[in-house]
Amino acid sequence: MVKKDLEPLGLSEEQIAGVLKQHDEEIGEVNASLQKAQDDLKAEQAKAETQGDTIKELNEALKEYKDADVSGLKQTITDLETKLATQKTEHEAELADREFQALLKDSITAAHGKDAEKIAKLLDVETLKASKNQKDDIAAAVKALAEDDVTKGMFGETAAQVDHTGNLIGTVTPGPAAQKTDTLRSAIAEHYGVK
């Protein structure tokens, strides 16, 4: 609507200006709403395009698995999970056995056992492994063997280590070959680390 459309109606200049002003305000609101709707439409179209591209990519990716045996894949996953659980159980059992063997060895050593392997064969290892208080039960079983008349000979202090010191050759009386003997004695003593 423009001014020349209103003049034939016999409106004054002020009335024409008021109508045009009100018309422009109403049109401005409509135009703003229209612009917002157009912007929203463009945003939704862009989203739809992006989603369409994503759907195409997913369809392309799914083509690789079109002929896949889903039940076979599920079985493979189940088998792998079972294998992993078995390996975990075996690993835990191995760790528990190592800890048990260390406790057993320490208890035998503490009781001055002379041959830990032979002493361990005399113990009820399976019962001791199942024990809730392995450390005390192993110590008690080893103590019982150490106090038993039949097996106490397997326990006790080990023989002291012999310290190889002293004169290995003996004394040499002075004589014509004394100097050669002293040299030989020094060489042998040095070889064996004796001072």
17-63: per-residue pLDDT in tens?
887 788 788 887 878 888 888 898 899 888 888 988 888 888 888 88
The 8-class DSSP code of residue 72 comes to: H
- Residue 2 has what pLDDT? 72
Q: Are 108 and 116 in contact (CB under 8 A)?
A: yes
**With pLDDT > 90 as the criterion, what percentage of the chain qualifies?**
11
Q: Which two tokens stand for residue 181?
A: 């003997």
On whether the pTM is more than 0.85, the answer is no
Segments of the chain scoring below 50 in pLDDT = none
End-to-end Cα, the chain, rounded Å: 128
| pLDDT given for residue 19 in this prediction | 79
How far apart are the C-alpha atoms of 65 and 55, rounded to whole Å? 16
Burial class (CB in 10 A: 0-12, 13-18, 19+), 13: exposed
pLDDT at residue 90 in the model: 92
Give dist(CA 37, CA 24) in Å, integer: 19
The conformation of residue 113, written as its DSSP 8-state character, comes to B
